[in-house]
Amino acid sequence: MAETTHAHAEHDDHDHKPHGWRRWVFATNHKDIGTMYLVFSCIMFFTGGLFAMTIRAELFKPGLQIVDAGVFNSLTTMHGLVMIFGAIMPAWVGLANWMIPIQIGAPDMALPRLNNLSFWILPFAFVLLLSSWLVPGSAPAGGWTMYPPLTLQLGASFPMLIFAIHMMGISSILGAINVVVTIMNLRAPGMTLMRMPLFVWTWLITAFLLIAVMPVLAGAVTMMLTDHFFGTSFFNAAGGGDPVMFQHIFWFFGHPEVYIMILPGFGVISEIIPAFSRKPLFGYEAMVYATASIAFLSFIVWAHHMFTVGLPLSALLFFMFATMLIAVPTGVKVFNWTATMWRGSLSFEPPMLFSLAFLFLFTIGGFSGLMLALVPADFQYQDTYFVVAHFHYVLVSGSAFAIMAAVYYWLPKWVGRMYDMRLATWHFWLSAIFFNVLFFPQHFLGLAGMPRRIPDYAVQFADWNMVSSIGGFVFGLSQLLFPYIIWKCVRSGKRVEGTRAWEGARGLEWELPSPAPYHSWTTPPTEAMIARGAEH
Amino acid sequence: MYRARLGIRPGIWLGIAALLAAAWTASPAMALDADNPGSSGWRLLNLPVGVTSISRDVYRIHMIGLWVCVAIGILVFGVMIWSIVFHRQSSGAVADVTLVHNTKVEIIWTTIPVLILIGMAIPAAHGLVLISDDSHSQLDIKVTGFQWGWHYEYVGTGVSLVSKLDAKSMAASELDSGISPYSVPHYLRNVDHPLVVPVGTKIRLLIGAVDVIHSWWVPDFGIKKDAIPGYINQSWFEVDADKPGVYRGQCAELCGRGHGYMPIVVDAVSKADFQAWLKREAAAEKAATARASSS
């Protein structure tokens, strides 16, 4: 037995791995695949960001100066698709790949080859989607929500859009299956469900959401495909179909989808705030139950995205009440994070700064969400910049900031080096301030009556649009610091001594040496290690 | 261990800068000339109260929502900021690691939000019931959205009209048109033929579309309803008898490249003026039909 352990330790030290391109193309190691997901996500973040910068440049002042109205619609559509399916979701899968096995004491993901497949589908999906810029009729322009009949008017990009969505969906489903199987089967002895770190818990619930709703999206777009090419009339009113049915099906996917993008963020924040408050998370069990309730509620609120389609009064009332109910578990989470900081011993390293920004700004997004739930008021907000402001508060300062917090938290563990903390702090302050300059005025624009998805606007909207665009340019440019900081850290960061990069960090990942060995937990962690990580 | 040297200090300076910017924005110097829409944009911060009973209800519900959120925000952000300021490691705070669970507190902060939500849901549900009651209308208008404009039909009168973006806006809105949007009156919010309605009259809209989904929205009336092929959606409004005027809105559902260019303009006139206008239009339409059949 002792000999086996020793042999394993040797094995770990050698870190033997395939070299050259084979290491990546045939990758089965969860760390390599996680890295590929994160790099891919970063490329997509800047691709989608470029679209956003063009949008903000066009909206800098009234009149059309840069792109025509058709291209503008393609830009908003592609910005949404690329950021959601290309940047945020793959970033979370990448973090899941890197962290879940390490955090539960498993040697790898349960299905390593499936893992390889689920990643390598993505580049093909996005080459297909992005190359639609080159075909006749240009890129999809019907909005990322793809409502028919408008989306059925697309040119050659239509089938490309549908098949790209299919591929992204398959990739997500395979990734989610892998996460569920890994968490259910590969936890180290002693790592009971209620001792798991919250990032693992939130990802487990997210994975179930993905498996439940990605096929629904695939079904919706497939019906649209047959409407377009095979003469069916699922969504064609002239053939007895129903365009509103698409919206019901789409949002049955779409609402859980927004929680798919935010729940892992809740998990990350629940790891980082305790670490930098030097205090265990307040109300661990309540956090788990709140996450599960949010996931359940996410299935019964979809129609709040379509309050103006002409739903009957009873449906409006039901979806209003159900939507308002989400504020309760979400409130519990915010209160628990606040209570975790209360009487703690706080310090403000970059991961904590991004988590605090998450806490404040996501809560603001939650407030506007609560206002949007009030149906009569929603009749005014629906499809205006108020909605644009709302979902960027929950998606940028929610998901994207949580991803950045996670990278700044775990990067020292991944590469065994510390990044330039001063530069990362500037990255934080520029992001946090100019995020608000970018998106806060959009609340005003929406309330004043500016619809979303318009390439040009009446002159009374000019002032706040200019402020928003300036905020957008600085916010966008300051994101270039992020890959630079990571690159610099990987190349020449100061080496991290010992296992723990942060004084208050707890969990199995901080029991491993830094950088985490290529093959980790080939022998399970000890009960003492698990107990240290699960102090709550 | 690694420590942040910069920490939250830049935030203090940037926060002061943001406050100064906000003060500058709110200052009277910014609010120059109400007649020049270019300079009054800074003051457009909130929903319009509007000119119908619905829009006033909606405004009230919106303000209840807003103030509830502001109050909760002050409370929650206050506690967070208190921790950030007073429970800092650098000022010698020691973590109270026993503070991990408190059933009583957790029950309280689950129950109180539920009560607040009920308090918000009651006026919202009440308002919604009122908005949904489109019975006893005095005038029905069929609204049909198309790419890109609106067709209006005064049901039972034989009068109908097509309403599209006005020519001046159209010319100025071309890519690199060289025409300043500021030189066009009501740029992108003006039409060739506005919808004419009487004030003090309950008007029911029957809303549909011929090609893709559009959405009919006039903020001052507090209503927005999607125009969907295959559907007839209903909505209603009654402009206050003492508030005749021109009210403007835009299509609110992405409907293709012309989505930003299909404004809605409603000219609310006195009942007598409306009857006279309707008579004129009916006669003109009759004459046009007669001309068409005789030639």
Convert the pLDDT of each residue in B159-181 to its tens digit.
999 999 999 999 999 998 999 99
Task: For chains A and B, count residue pairs whose Cβ atoms are closer than 8 Å.
Answer: 334
A16 belongs to the catalytic site: no
Q: Which residue, B108, B132, B156, sits at the end of a domain?
A: B132
The pLDDT assigned to B8 comes to 66
Question: Sheet of B149-154: strands edge to edge?
Answer: B159-163, B149-154, B139-146, B203-209, B233-237
Residues shown for chain A? 536
A31, A255, A392, A519: the catalytic one is A255
**Of residues B5, B109, B125, nearest to A331 (C-beta):** B109
* Cα dihedral across residues A230, A232, A238, A244: positive or negative: negative
Question: What global pTM score does this model have?
Answer: 0.93
The pLDDT assigned to B3 comes to 54
The residue among B257, B224, B213 whose CA lies nearest residue A384 is B224
Residues B183, B263 within the same domain = yes
The pLDDT assigned to A333 comes to 96
The pLDDT assigned to A532 comes to 86
CB contact under 8 A, B105 and A338: no
The token pair at A266 is 């809740």
User: What is the per-residue pLDDT across B128-157, written as a single tens digit (0 to 9) for each?
Assistant: 999 999 999 999 999 999 999 999 999 999
Q: B257: distance to nearest CA of chain A, Å?
A: 5
Residues B10, B99 within the same domain = yes
The residue among A267, A265, A273, A271 whose CA lies nearest residue A340 is A273
Q: Mind listing the pLDDT tens digit of every residue in chain A (536 residues)?
A: 344 444 444 444 456 778 889 999 999 999 999 999 999 999 999 999 999 999 999 999 999 999 999 999 999 999 999 999 999 999 999 999 999 999 999 999 999 999 999 999 999 999 999 999 999 989 999 999 999 999 999 999 999 999 999 999 999 999 999 999 999 999 999 999 999 999 999 999 999 999 999 999 999 999 999 999 999 999 999 999 999 999 999 999 999 999 999 999 999 999 999 999 999 999 999 999 999 999 999 999 999 999 999 999 999 999 999 999 999 999 999 999 999 999 999 999 999 999 999 999 999 999 999 999 999 999 999 999 999 999 999 999 999 999 999 999 999 999 999 999 999 999 999 999 999 999 999 999 999 999 999 999 999 999 999 999 999 999 999 999 999 999 999 999 999 988 999 989 999 999 999 999 999 999 999 999 999 887 66
The pLDDT assigned to B281 comes to 93
A491 belongs to the catalytic site: no
The pLDDT assigned to B36 comes to 46
**Of residues B42, B99, B120, nearest to A343 (C-beta):** B99
A536 belongs to the catalytic site: no
Q: A382: distance to nearest CA of chain B, Å?
A: 8
CB contact under 8 A, B188 and A457: yes
**Of residues B47, B90, B129, nearest to A380 (C-beta):** B47
Residues B158, B76 within the same domain = no
A293 belongs to the catalytic site: no
Residues B109, B145 within the same domain = no
Q: B188: distance to nearest CA of chain A, Å?
A: 6
Residues B108, B157 within the same domain = no
Residues B170, B102 within the same domain = no
CB contact under 8 A, A320 and B128: yes
Residues B89, B204 within the same domain = no
Rounded Cα distance between B283 and B295, Å, is 18
CATH number of the domain that residue B164 is part of = 2.60.40.420
B260 is in which domain, residue-wise?
139-294
Rounded Cα distance between B124 and A316, Å, is 11
Work out the pLDDT band at B190, boundaries 50, 70, 90: very high
Give the mean pLDDT of B115-122.
Answer: 95
Residues B102, B167 within the same domain = no
Chain A CA closest to residue B119: A324
ipTM here:
0.91
Chain B CA closest to residue A337: B80
A151, A206, A270, A355: the catalytic one is A270
Residues B128, B143 within the same domain = no
Residues B185, B279 within the same domain = yes
Rounded Cα distance between A152 and A230, Å, is 13
**Of residues A64, A444, A451, nearest to B174 (C-beta):** A64
Question: Which residues share a beta bridge with B226?
Answer: B215
Chain A CA closest to residue B11: A429
A234-to-A302, A352, B100, B145 alpha-carbon distances in Å: 20, 49, 53, 22
Give the mean pLDDT of B222-248.
Answer: 96
Q: Which residue, B84, B114, B132, sits at the end of a domain?
A: B132
Residues B191, B261 within the same domain = yes
A257 belongs to the catalytic site: yes
> Into how many domains does chain B fold?
2
The token pair at B40 is 């009054």
Residues B231, B98 within the same domain = no
For residue B34, pLDDT over 70 is answered with no
Rounded Cα distance between A185 and A217, Å, is 28
Chain B CA closest to residue A74: B257
Q: Which residue, B132, B150, B170, sits at the end of a domain?
A: B132
Helix axes A112-130, A157-185, angle to 10 degrees: 160
The pLDDT assigned to B13 comes to 74
